[in-house]
């Protein structure tokens, strides 16, 4: 298996990190890759200078578009990708050198797997780690269990229509993985810290997602309300008990979501 991986990197005023991100990609043990940087309407002079310099590299394409936020930029890059595998990567993050090799081995062995990611190591303004679970659709009911930075089969990306471009304030990756797992695809998480996720003061999660969390969750629930009801019915019928970090039983979650779905917020 020697497929071309298209590494799609949206960039909005992230020139300060881009050279490091590209340099880290050169350390990947798997090197049949193309790099697509999507300039999402950057206004920073330094970023524009970095993008111009990078555009002269043989294996890098720099695409320019009006600002449309992360969903739009990611989709734009994928539309121009030549590879059969997409590596979604943010402009200030990086993967460990072995990640592409390990992810491709998993895709080859697991035909039902559409997405591969790994445990996450945070660095920058905040340090720590995370262990997403991946899995099937049930694991994505209440939270995203896969980061945006991941390997995705392009055929799957195309079949679900990519990211929802109306989701400009975050959780677009969560909603994307809901649609992927709805089609019975599996998300595989490598139990190693192979994704290094930079924490900055301009973080989308802190500046846009958290302040708009209620509206974003309402949007996801309304968009997928029939699926939520069917999943919860199956959980109840099978007498399965799920727990969140706060140890809420599935009966309580069912009541909460049912009230939201029928527009009762008491």
Structure tokens at 145: 């269990």
* Residue 234, pLDDT score: 80
In a domain, 218, yes or no: no
In a domain, 245, yes or no: no
Q: Residues 207-244, buried b or exposed e (16+ Cβ, 10 A)?
A: ebbeebeeebeebbeebbeeebeebbeebeeeeeeeee
In a domain, 160, yes or no: yes
* Residue 118, pLDDT score: 98
Q: Are 35 and 25 in contact (CB under 8 A)?
A: yes
In a domain, 220, yes or no: no
* Residue 244, pLDDT score: 44
In a domain, 154, yes or no: yes
Range of the domain at 97: 5-202
CATH number of the structural domain spanning residue 52: 3.90.550.10
Q: What is the Cα–Cα distance from 45 to 110, expressed in whole angstroms?
A: 45
* Residue 66, pLDDT score: 94
* Residue 241, pLDDT score: 46
Q: Are 87 and 151 in contact (CB under 8 A)?
A: yes
Cα-based distances in Å from 62 to 44, 46, 66: 16, 15, 13
pLDDT tens-digit profile, the chain (266 residues): 699 999 999 999 999 999 999 999 999 999 999 999 999 999 999 999 999 999 999 899 999 999 999 999 999 999 999 999 999 999 999 999 999 999 999 999 999 999 999 999 999 888 999 999 999 998 999 899 999 999 999 999 999 999 999 999 999 999 999 999 999 999 999 999 999 999 877 777 777 788 889 999 999 999 999 999 888 888 777 754 454 444 445 555 556 566 655 554 43
Q: Residues 101-133, buried b or exposed e (16+ Cβ, 10 A)?
A: ebbbeebeeeeebbbbbbbbbeeeeeeeeeebe
Looking at residue 14, the DSSP 8-state letter turns out to be -
* Residue 209, pLDDT score: 81
* Residue 245, pLDDT score: 44
DSSP 74-125: HHHHHHT--SSEEEE--TT-EE-TTHHHHHHHHHHH-TTEEEEEEEEEEEES
* Residue 111, pLDDT score: 97
* Residue 237, pLDDT score: 74
In a domain, 162, yes or no: yes
Three-state SS at 138: helix
Domains in the chain: how many in total? 1
In a domain, 23, yes or no: yes
In a domain, 163, yes or no: yes
Structure tokens at 110: 């697991």
């Amino acid at each position: 298996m020697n497929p071309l991986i298209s590494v799609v990197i949206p960039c909005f005023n992230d020139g300060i990190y881009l050279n490091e991100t590209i340099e880290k990609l050169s350390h990947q043990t798997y090197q049949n890759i193309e790099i697509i940087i999507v300039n999402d309407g950057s206004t920073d002079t330094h970023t524009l200078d970095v993008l111009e310099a990078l555009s002269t590299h043989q294996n890098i394409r720099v695409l320019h578009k009006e600002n449309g936020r992360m969903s739009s930029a990611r989709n734009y890059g994928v539309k121009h990708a030549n590879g059969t595998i997409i590596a979604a990567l943010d402009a200030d993050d990086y993967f460990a050198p072995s990640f592409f090799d390990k992810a491709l081995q998993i895709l080859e062995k697991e035909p039902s797997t559409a997405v591969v990611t790994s445990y996450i190591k945070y660095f920058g303004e905040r340090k720590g780690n995370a262990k997403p679970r991946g899995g099937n659709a049930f694991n994505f009911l209440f939270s995203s269990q896969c980061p945006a930075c991941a390997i995705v089969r392009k055929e799957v990306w195309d079949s679900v229509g990519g990211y929802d471009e109306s989701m400009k304030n975050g959780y677009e990756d969560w909603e994307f993985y809901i649609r992927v797992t709805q089609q019975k695809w599996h998300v595989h998480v490598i139990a190693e810290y192979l994704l290094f996720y930079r924490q900055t003061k301009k973080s989308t999660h802190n500046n846009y997602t958290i302040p708009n969390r209620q509206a974003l969750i309402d949007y996801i629930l309304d968009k997928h309300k029939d699926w939520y009801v069917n999943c919860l019915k199956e959980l109840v019928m099978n007498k399965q008990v799920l727990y969140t970090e706060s140890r809420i039983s599935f009966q309580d979650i069912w009541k909460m979501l049912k009230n939201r779905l029928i527009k009762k917020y008491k």
